[in-house]
Amino acid sequence: MSVSGTSERPLCVAIVGSGPAGFYTAEHLFRRDDLTVRVDMFERLPMPFGLVRYGVAPDHQKIKKATKAFDRVASRPEFRFFGNVEYGRHVTLDDLRRHYHAVCFATGAQTDRSMGIPGEELDRSHPATEFVAWYNGHPDYRDHTFDLSVECAAVVGVGNVAVDVARVLCRTPEELEKTDIADYALETLRASRIKEVYMLGRRGPAQAAFTNAEVKELGELEGADLIVRRSDLELDTLSESELAKGDDRAAQKKVEILRALAARAPQGRARQLKLRFLVSPVELTADSDGRVAGMRLVRNVLYRAEDGALRPKPSDEHENLPVKLVFRSVGYRGVALPQLPFEERRGVIPSDQGRVVDPENGRPVPGLYVTGWIKRGPSGIIGTNKPDAGETVASMAGDAAEGLVPEPAVVDADAIERLVRERQPDVVGFDDWQRLDAFEMERGAASGRPRVKLTSLAEALAQLRGS
Ligand code: NAP
């Protein structure tokens, strides 16, 4: 192995996945003065940007502005985008290792965690991740159906994804039609008969995973009153003493915000969003057609676990909620990738400072890296991926300088393109995506929306062929 990353011997990097983690990795690579690089990004879908396009809520357009920085990365002559190309199907690990010094996986967390309770698999019980992907027009989820003809729904979990789902369920059609929500979702939500949405936290308000700006926004919905029970905000002694330490200012503020929200009188809006704490679903009950007909809850109390965290344990107090539709929002989960090690318990590729680690011997696998959620698990906001990518790139640059990355068998940049085109004639380049982007925005402008998304692969490819 010899030194690479110089102007004579640029470091050739393949990034698998085009979400924020992938793009921030490319950005960090281009920013380094000590490194000359060529970056190719592989994406399973024709459209780039991963969770920015398919995860961020449609009524949070500002967050989607992150793509401006990604466009700048993509405009560099040393960058190529291979969209509609799937790792493990159109390109294998061996292909990538033959053509690149370094391969970095940025595939995120593509599935959900489960609650592990009876009835979870009933009709009208869904992972929140699928609902999110559906309303954001993800091609894999556009044909899913969600029965919004019922009146009472529950979202399990109180993280920011749960907040997004509850908020979208409570938005009025007028609020939604200003966004880039998928057209079919807009129509389904327009016809929604939902009147009551429960959000259920298994721990107390001081431990809620949502951030303060997000919960405040729940108090500002045009069509729904946020109801928080004052009794849920009376802190147990463990939470009280934890907050009194004063080292978690955000948690203190969170409790203050919730108390202010609880003190407000409902305004008689069409929908009610009921935020509850210290409860866990223990069972979903079924009607005769196998659909959710109700939810049995247990009230929890907090205890201090061995690791020092406050965790919930069930009491013997139970309650039934008349919910007919359930979204479990209890966390995303990474998916194992072909030919790579995987840590089942955390749902991540095992790594050390961004270097993929062989679990057999605990040593880094030369030339393989990870970044984003598939590296650290599904936590943090879009911007969290920036320093995370920085760490991975620092490892990669260090390895290149020390001659620790393997020399690829083929250094011809055209060779991988030929190989990809052979296996996937419908490869989508970044210029193709820009045409689709312009088309979506043009359609949106006609109806006063940021964009009208192309949600079907066939439609997107036909658009490219025709335009
Ligand atoms: P999260 O923040 O980890 O929240 C998961 C929630 O599920 C927590 O309330 C957790 O409770 C609960 N939970 C886990 N297992 C449960 C169980 N078995 N029963 C009941 N509740 C359970 O995850 P997320 O909401 O999926 O969000 C992922 C990341 O994306 C987060 O970092 C989030 O901030 C970020 N995000 C940000 C935005 C934004 O900035 N607007 C929007 C969406 C997502 P415990 O706390 O008790 O474990």
pLDDT at residue 467 greater than cutoff 70: no
Say what percent of the chain tops pLDDT 90.
95
Calculate how far, in angstroms, residue 380's C-alpha sits from the geometric centre of ligand 1. 10
Closest CA to 214 of 265, 266, 253, 181: 253
Ligand 1 centroid, distance to 162 Cα (angstroms):
7
- DSSP letter (8 states) at residue 428: B
Ligand 1 contacts CB of residue 380 (under 6 A): yes
φ/ψ of residue 239, rounded to 5 = -65, -40
Mapped onto helix, strand or coil, the DSSP state of residue 430 is helix
**Beta-strand pair 279-286/292-304:** antiparallel
Decide: helix, strand or coil at residue 53: helix
Contact 362, 124 (CB under 8 A): no
Per-residue confidence at 5, pLDDT binned at 50, 70, 90? Answer: confident
What angle (nearest 5°) sits at the alpha carbon of residue 194, between those of residues 192 and 197? 135
pLDDT of 1 higher than 70: no
Q: Which long-range contacts (CB under 8 A, 24 or more apart) does 441-447 make?
A: 444/180, 447/177
112 lines ligand 1 (CB under 6 A): no
Q: How far is it, in rounded angstroms, from Cα 371 to Cα 17?
A: 10
State in Å: Cα 55 to ligand 1 middle.
Answer: 13
In contact, 23 and 70? CB cutoff 8 Å = yes
Choose one of 161, 296, 302, 307 to mutate for the ligand 1 pocket test, by most ligand atoms within 8 angstroms of C-beta.
Answer: 161
Q: Which residue, chain included where needed, has tokens 């109180």?
A: 158
pLDDT digits (tens, 9 = 90+) for 385-439: 999 999 999 999 999 999 999 999 998 999 999 999 999 999 999 999 999 999 9
In ligand 1, the atom with minimum distance to the C-alpha of 55 is 43
Our answer on whether the CB atom of 381 is closer than 6 Å to any ligand 1 atom is: yes
C-beta atoms surrounding 157 within 10 Å: 25
Residue 296 has a pLDDT of 98
Q: What is the DSSP letter of 343?
A: B
Q: Are 29 and 5 in contact, with CB atoms under 8 Å apart?
A: no
Q: Is the CB of 172 under 6 A from ligand 1?
A: no
Q: Where are the alpha helices (DSSP H) in 280-402?
A: 373-376, 385-401
User: Which residue's CA lies nearest to atom 22 of ligand 1?
Assistant: 330
Q: Tell how far the Cα of 31 is from the centroid of ligand 1, in angstroms.
A: 32
Cα 253 to ligand 1 centre (Å):
18
Please work out whether the CB of residue 331 comes within 6 Å of at least one atom of ligand 1. yes
Residue 47 backbone dihedrals phi, psi, to 5 degrees: -95, 135
Lowest mean pLDDT among 80-84, 161-165, 280-284, 462-466: 462-466
Q: Span 340-350, mean pLDDT?
A: 97
Half-sphere exposure of 440 (CA within 13 A, CB side): 23
Distance from the alpha carbon of residue 381 to the mean position of ligand 1, in angstroms: 11
Around Cβ 415, how many Cβ atoms within 10 Å? 14
Q: What pLDDT sits at residue 263?
A: 95
